[in-house]
Amino acid sequence: MFYLEKQNRMVIPRTELTYPAHQMRFHENAAKAPVDHVMADFEDACPYEYKGEASRRVAVEALNTIDFGDKVVTVRPNNIRSPYFLGDLQAVMVGAPDRFHGIVLPKVYSPEDIVYVSSLLDALEKEGGWTTRVQIEALIETPQALVRAYEIATASDRMAGLIFGIADFAASIGAKEYVEDQHKYFLYPKQAVVVAAKAAGLHAIDCVYFRIVRRDTPPEEAREIEEGLRRKNMEAANLGMDGSWIIHPSQAQIVNECYTPSDEEVERARRAIEAYYKAGGGSIINPETGEFEDDATVKAKLMLLAKAVQAGKLTKDYLDELARRSAEITGYNILKVMRRMG
């Protein structure tokens, strides 16, 4: 979870827009996109000719001059084994202090990678005069990282989330198909990322969907692409993913919807919890709906309502009171245990 210190709020991103860092217009477009999180990319999205000073100069200027509003703002440097990594990190940390919130670290192999980067951030925050603390999201995109995902998630108190990177993971294991039927071919790694992230109290972000509707895309094909995007992200949400990477602002609306409870879902959960407590708890049949309820189903509904608070559909005070009532009986507040409350 990202804690935005100056705004005094917590963000669990539903949409993380990744875009090339080497041209100002990409930063400007990202600032206007209806997403929770933006990520200026020095790595895969940056053409070779712009690696190094050219892309760093643009990114630092963008971070210092563009108003990204209430978005989480992050930077993805080249991976730590790249000759560009240290220069990328130093450029943004010294050149744009307090102007972004996190580093997205690609090609992580082990918790030692996180420890190394965290120590670099300690030094660079001092050098740059930061008054806030930079957090880390780690990309789980290698088999080595997957089998050590929980160790990676707990390697530093800077950790905010884990992201499943499907393209590099597919290349590493020799998988041929990674665009369609992702949850058929990659169910295990996706679920493993969710479990590791949630065990560490972090958010879990799903991979991109590579098909994009373009201006010249025929209407029938556009509908097919949008249906595929929605299906992929609804399935990811059902697995426990909190959000997804996107590669174009046009994907944002559908993806936001997939990770946001509808008004009907919020009202149904709210009424069910209140009916449960009115009936005295335990194992009951909800008199309104005829559905079974117990402490476990109530906790699931509390987690759903936490997403509603993030989306501005409920007040935090209301959710706090429901969680308090649950904790009085069960002995723990699931929203605090799972870091769903700021």
The angle, 0 to 180 degrees and rounded to 10, between the axes of the packed helices 219-239 and 187-199 is 50
Is the pLDDT at 331 greater than 70? The verdict is yes
Residue-wise pLDDT for 10-33, tens only, equals 899 999 999 999 999 999 999 999
Q: Name the residue type at position 148.
A: R
pLDDT tens digit sequence for 103-139: 999 999 999 999 999 999 999 999 999 999 999 999 9
At 300 the three-state DSSP class reads helix
For the chain, domains (ranges, CATH) are 2-258 (3.20.20.60), 263-337 (no CATH)
Shortest CA distance to 185 belongs to which of 164, 203, 211, 202?
Answer: 164
Residues near 324 by beta carbon (within 8 Å), at least 6 away in sequence: 333
Q: For residue 151, give both structure tokens.
A: 């160790």
pLDDT tens figures, 235-276: 999 999 999 999 999 999 999 999 999 999 999 999 888 888
Can you tell me which residue has the tokens 């008004």?
A: 263
